């Protein structure tokens, strides 16, 4: 094997491990218990039976796409980050012949959180069971933009092992949706997402580090970054990951304990530059599939969609209870290009 081939093989192993980010949480997270307390005069327009019908219709479309490895018709029931994630997963499956196991979405659920709000857009949070191979539960985010449109699957986050979610009202009573500017929290949802993004970019040097509890997503990214950096420095190359907040891409539900459960899209790029005149090559089957017949250069840029679920505690919380906590995530490469 040539030196270039050896370097590519080592980087492949590293990026394959990157693809395992979040999937390490194979054990189930702790599902929140529902509250039976009366808290609002309004009642939801959506019933549990209707939620099941909506979710089943969405999963039927996804299953058909999985079987055909085609994206035709996906945009009828998928939107937002989940549409981009599933299109990428199917493109990779077309090239490799296999759909990534992490793309599985169980049909059985443990809880649904139904909105009580009038008007649109509307959001439903639903938590599935574990998968058949005991991967973690999925937090599904379904949205309806107007009364005349179908609900679509906007996002999926795999819950972390041991993740503790807040309590919500039982479906027949309904739960209030939140906003990006929700107050009476340790941080507004908009600020919390911006701070988390800064933390992803700057690590321990971020001025917001102490506002967040440790989480599996950041831990795995830090390990990956450190390992890749070693390899890059040994061969006079460089690598950098940059995270940015996606504008107006967050969904929020208010819990009965006064906190918010927020699901947000955060985009990122991973740029790798080979040293000493080498080519920077795709480093995994997923990257190869997305790169296709592109011509390699010294620099490769991989674009990711990240979906992060986090809990923001109510204002007045103290100690560990005051920390914002990521409870689940999804990370998927959606574009690979040579620069």
> Of 25, 161, 19, 10, nearest to 98 (Cα)?
19
Express each pLDDT in 313-328 by its tens digit.
999 999 999 999 999 9
Cβ(286)–Cβ(333) under 8 Å?
A: yes
From its phi and psi, is residue 193 left (phi > 0), alpha (psi between -120 and 50) or beta?
alpha
Sequence-distant (6+) residues with CB within 8 A of 48 are 112, 114, 171, 172
Distance of alpha carbon 48 from alpha carbon 109, whole angstroms: 11
Give the whole-angstrom CA distance, residue 3 versus residue 11.
12
> What pLDDT sits at residue 15?
55
For 249: left if phi > 0, alpha if psi spans -120 to 50, otherwise beta; the answer is beta
Domain boundary assignment for the chain: 3-338
**Closest-CA residue to 180 (of 81, 252, 261, 79):** 252
pLDDT tens, position by position, for the chain (339 residues)?
Answer: 444 444 454 555 455 545 546 544 443 334 444 444 444 467 898 999 999 999 999 999 999 999 999 999 999 999 999 999 999 999 999 999 999 999 999 999 999 999 999 889 999 999 999 999 999 999 999 999 999 999 999 999 999 988 999 999 999 999 999 999 999 999 999 999 999 999 999 999 999 999 999 999 999 999 988 888 887 787 788 999 999 999 999 999 999 999 999 999 999 999 999 887 888 888 788 999 999 999 999 999 999 999 999 999 999 999 999 999 999 999 999 999 999
Q: Residue 107: enclosing H or E segment and its boundaries? A: none
Backbone angles phi, psi at 51, to 5 degrees: -60, -45
Instruction: Establish how many alpha carbons lie within 13 A of residue 312's alpha carbon, considering only the half-sphere containing its beta carbon.
Output: 30
- Strands 109-113 and 260-273, by their bridges, are unpaired
Is 79:300 a contact under the CB 8 Å cutoff? no
Block residue for tokens 């490769």: 300
Task: Tell me the C-alpha distance between 221 and 217, whole Å.
Answer: 6
pLDDT score at 17: 47
Which pair of structure tokens corresponds to residue 333?
A: 């490469």
């Amino acid at each position: 094997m040539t030196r270039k081939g050896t370097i590519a093989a080592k980087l492949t192993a590293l990026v394959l491990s990157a693809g395992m980010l979040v999937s390490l949480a194979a054990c189930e997270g702790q599902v929140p218990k529902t509250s039976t307390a009366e808290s609002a005069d309004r009642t939801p327009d959506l019933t549990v039976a209707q939620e099941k019908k909506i979710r089943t219709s969405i999963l039927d479309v996804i299953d058909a796409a999985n079987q055909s490895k085609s994206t035709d018709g996906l945009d009828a029931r998928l939107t937002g980050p989940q549409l981009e994630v599933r299109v990428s997963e199917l493109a990779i499956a077309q090239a490799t012949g296999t759909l990534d196991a992490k793309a599985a979405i169980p049909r059985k659920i443990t809880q649904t959180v139904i909105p009580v709000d009038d008007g649109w857009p509307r959001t439903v949070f639903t938590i599935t069971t574990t998968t058949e191979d005991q991967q973690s539960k999925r937090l599904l985010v379904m949205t309806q933009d107007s009364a005349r449109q179908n609900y679509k699957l906007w996002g999926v986050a795999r819950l972390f092992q041991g993740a503790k979610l807040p309590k919500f009202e039982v479906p027949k009573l309904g739960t209030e949706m939140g906003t990006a500017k929700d107050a009476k929290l340790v941080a507004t949802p908009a600020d919390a997402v911006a701070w988390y993004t800064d933390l992803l970019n700057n690590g321990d040097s971020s001025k917001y580090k102490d506002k967040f509890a440790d989480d599996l997503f950041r831990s795995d990214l830090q390990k990956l970054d450190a390992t890749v950096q070693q390899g890059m420095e040994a061969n006079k190359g460089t690598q950098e990951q940059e995270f940015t907040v996606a504008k107006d891409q967050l969904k929020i539900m208010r819990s009965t304990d006064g906190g918010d459960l927020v699901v947000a899209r955060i985009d990122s790029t991973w740029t790798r530059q080979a040293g000493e005149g080498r080519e920077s090559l795709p480093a995994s089957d997923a990257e190869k599939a997305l790169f296709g017949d592109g011509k390699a250069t010294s620099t490769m840029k991989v674009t990711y969609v990240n979906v992060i679920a986090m809990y923001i505690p109510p204002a007045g919380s103290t100690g560990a209870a005051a920390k914002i906590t990521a409870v689940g995530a999804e990370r998927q490469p959606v574009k690979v290009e040579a620069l």
